Amino acid sequence: MSVVKSLPELLLIHGWALGPGMWRPMLRHLSDWGVHALDMGYFGPSRMQPDLSGEGPLVAVGHSLGSLWLLRELALETPLAQALVRRRAKLVLINGFGRFSRAEDFSSGVHPRILERMIRRLRQDPAAVLDAFRVQAGAPPLGEAVPKGANIQHLEAGLQGLLAWDGRPMLESWPHSLLALSTQDDGVATPAMTRQSLPESAIHWRDQGGHMLPLSQPAWCAEWIRQI
């Protein structure tokens, strides 16, 4: 009797001011995998409730804020988190971090007042805030279409998450495989932030690639996902 292997599945969650389209270059190298691409609803309808009822191998991949969102879901033991635990999901954090904002025990984080200023400016001039961030991250600017297409409420919630969330305790207790893909030239999740907020043994470095590894190094990201 032949044994039918379950199709590996990916759960993907993008970063701030982005959308699920950012995964397309990487997914060209993973065309034999099942895909659940979540959408935080920054520029269209949100899609945040995937069907993870299967039984096969599952890899949860978060980019930037998406990595912190995954850790928060696990800490809150949401239905999505319960599915990840049940299926012994492997976690891949791309350009990710366990915490983003500075704290007494996290000196390499971004100062809270910078994020607070972004929130205030987002309400006044969303195009300027989004384009400035995307350029810093290495993503193409959105331009004049931003004020019409952006969901300011969702974008502000994302910034509030960067201010408040701390996934480091979850990282310490996560019992399954963990992989972090980072770059030495990341202008958003700096190497210092990465080293201070993630287990050193889980980090794999790329000299160049900026904050958008799924776009700048899609084959490299896909290969690590296959290996995990």
Domain ranges for the chain: 9-100+166-227, 112-157
**Cα distances (angstroms) measured from residue 65 to each of 33, 87, 177:** 23, 23, 20
Give the confidence band of 139 by pLDDT, cuts at 50, 70, 90: confident
pLDDT at residue 180, as a whole number: 98
> Judging by DSSP bridges, how do beta strands 58-63 and 90-94 pair with one another?
parallel
Per DSSP, 41 falls in state -
pLDDT at residue 134, as a whole number: 84
**Cα distances (angstroms) measured from residue 7 to each of 1, 28, 31, 57:** 19, 16, 11, 7
Which residues in 22-40 are b (16+ Cβ under 10 Å) and which e?
bbebbbebbeebeebbbbb
Task: Taking residues 113-120, report their average pLDDT.
Answer: 97
Residue 92 has phi, psi (to 5 degrees) of: -125, 120
Superfamily of structural domain 9-100+166-227: Alpha/Beta hydrolase fold, catalytic domain (3.40.50.1820)
By CB atoms closer than 10 A (0-12, 13-18, 19+), residue 148 is exposed
* Residue 55, amino acid: E
pLDDT tens digits, one per residue of 178-223? 999 999 999 999 999 999 999 999 999 999 999 999 999 999 999 9
Asked if pLDDT for residue 144 goes beyond 70, the answer is no
